[in-house]
Amino acid sequence: MSPNLIPPDRDRLGRADRPLTIRADGVEVAGVHGQTLATVLLAAGRTHWRTARNGGGRGVFCGIGVCFDCVATVNGVPDVRLCRRPARDGDTVTSQSRAGGSER
C-alpha cells in the first residue's frame, strides 16, 4: 500500500480517487475516500495508536473488528475500532493509553 495517490491522467484503471485529510494526534494525514481510518494511518507509516497497560504499542492486529487492538478516540468518541470505521474528511483521531492502569 502506498500513501501516494496516482495522478488521474496516469491511472491505467481509470479510478477516480477522492482525497481526504484526517488529523491524527495533531498531524494531518492524507487518505482516500473508501479507506478505513486504520488504513489511512498504516499508509502514512503509523503502526500503533494505542498504548496497552504494559506500555506496548497497539494498532491493527486482526483487521476485521474482532480484537479491539486498533481502538482510538475519533471526533471525541473513545474506543472506536479504526479497522471498521470509514475515514471521513476532517476526522480527528487521538491515540489512547491504558498504560499505568488508566481507563483510556
> For the chain, which residues make up each domain, given as ranges?
17-101
Domain 17-101 sits in CATH 3.10.20.440: yes
Residue 8 banded pLDDT, cuts 50, 70, 90: low
How does pLDDT run across 18-76, given as a tens digit for each residue?
A: 899 999 999 999 999 989 999 999 999 999 898 888 888 888 888 888 888 899 999 99
How many whole angstroms separate alpha carbon 65 and alpha carbon 8?
Answer: 32
pLDDT the model gives residue 104: 44
- Indicate the residue type of 25: D
* Bridge partners for 36 per DSSP: 86
How does pLDDT run across 76-104, given as a tens digit for each residue?
A: 999 999 999 999 999 999 999 887 654 44
Indicate the pTM of the whole model. 0.79
- Indicate the residue type of 86: P
* Maximum Cα–Cα distance across the chain: 52
